[in-house]
């Protein structure tokens, strides 16, 4: 059974802190790993990491895929209150691009 | 504007009634997906469809049914056989089989009492 595990499940930090969110996966026919941010409703896409693109960066957010360790991290530097959200990690498997999601990490950034 | 729409935003039903959630996309995407989200559970796949007139069960299909008669539409019916239907339902679409990211609609919150 495909499995994606995220840790920690929740995190409280103060503005300006740097945080690292973890994701590990055990899936058959792995194709890519995706990170989403969910603030109330629809998850919004952050990054997709594949064998040909194991490191991505956008502003204060960056992500790395470690295919040997079957894991990924999402880093957020100089956190802001607007970063408060649930961060979802998902692995794409097989030919049908089916996504298997982790349970999500709830990040709270205090002023 | 291209995107995915879901309606209604909130839905209330009595136990024992079937209810259909709408999902429409104008992104010309081939693949569409239905997920269920419960607190602390992440997203779980209910059904998905890669082409018109074809769909497959996801991880928690029991008590749900779908149809895909048009490329842009993928309605989900929550039947009375679904034991715990109260949840947040998200529809998504993606261009196709290459690992593309999935784009999500705004969701429908269903409450069954």
Is the pLDDT score of A1 beyond 90?
Answer: no
Q: How far apart are CA A30 and CA A16, in angstroms?
A: 35
Which tens digit of pLDDT belongs to each residue from B44-88?
999 999 999 999 999 999 999 999 999 999 999 999 888 899 999
Is the pLDDT score of A96 beyond 80?
Answer: no
* Residue scoring higher pLDDT (B96 or B19): B19
Torsion of CA A102, A46, A42, A86, to 10 degrees: 50
What mean pLDDT is predicted for residues A93-110?
87
CA distances from A99 to B7, B15, B43, B98 (A): 23, 30, 9, 12
Which two tokens mark B81? 């056989």
* Closest Cβ opposite residue A45 in set B35, B40, B101: B101
Is the pLDDT score of B97 beyond 70?
Answer: no
Mutate to test the interface with B, among A41, A47, A63, A93 (most CBs of B within 10 A): A41
Asked if residues B34 and B23 have their Cβ atoms less than 8 Å apart, the reply is: yes
CA distance B105 to chain A (A): 6
Asked if residues B89 and B35 have their Cβ atoms less than 8 Å apart, the reply is: yes
φ, ψ at A81 (rounded to 5°)? -60, -30
Asked if residues A102 and B42 have their Cβ atoms less than 8 Å apart, the reply is: yes
Is the pLDDT score of B11 beyond 80?
Answer: yes
Q: Which residue of A has its CA nearest to B36?
A: A101
pLDDT at B1: 59
User: Exposure of A108 by Cβ count < 10 A (0-12 exposed, 13-18 middle, 19+ buried)?
Assistant: middle
Query: Cis (ω within 30 of 0) for the bond into A8?
Result: yes
Which tens digit of pLDDT belongs to each residue from A28-78?
888 899 999 999 888 999 999 987 778 999 999 999 999 899 999 999 999
Q: From chain B, pick out residues whose CB is under 8 angstroms from the CB of A92.
A: 99
Mutate to test the interface with A, among B42, B60, B68, B90 (most CBs of A within 10 A): B42
pLDDT at B98: 67
Q: What is the DSSP letter of B101?
A: P
Place B9 in a pLDDT band, splitting at 50, 70 and 90.
very high
């Amino acid at each position: 059974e495909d499995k994606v595990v995220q840790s920690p499940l929740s995190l409280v930090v103060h503005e300006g802190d740097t945080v690292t969110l973890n994701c590990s996966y055990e899936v058959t026919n792995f194709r890519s790993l995706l990170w989403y941010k969910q603030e109330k409703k629809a998850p919004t896409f952050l990054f997709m990491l594949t064998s040909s693109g194991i490191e991505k960066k956008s502003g204060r957010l960056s992500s790395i895929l470690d295919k040997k360790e079957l894991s990924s991290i999402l880093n957020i530097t100089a956190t802001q209150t607007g970063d408060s959200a649930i961060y979802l990690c998902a692995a794409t498997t097989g030919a049908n691009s089916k996504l298997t999601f982790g349970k999500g990490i709830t990040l709270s950034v205090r002023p | 504007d291209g995107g995915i729409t879901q309606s209604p935003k909130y839905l209330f039903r009595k136990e024992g009634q079937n209810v259909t959630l709408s999902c429409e996309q104008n992104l010309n995407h081939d693949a569409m997906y239905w997920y269920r989200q419960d607190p602390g559970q992440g997203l779980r796949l209910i059904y998905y469809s890669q082409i018109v007139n074809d769909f497959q069960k996801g991880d928690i299909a029991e008590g749900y049914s779908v149809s895909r008669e048009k490329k842009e539409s993928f309605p989900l019916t929550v039947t009375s056989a679904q034991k715990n239907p109260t949840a947040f339902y998200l529809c998504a679409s993606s261009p196709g089989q290459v690992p593309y990211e999935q784009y999500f609609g705004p969701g429908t919150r269903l409450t069954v009492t």
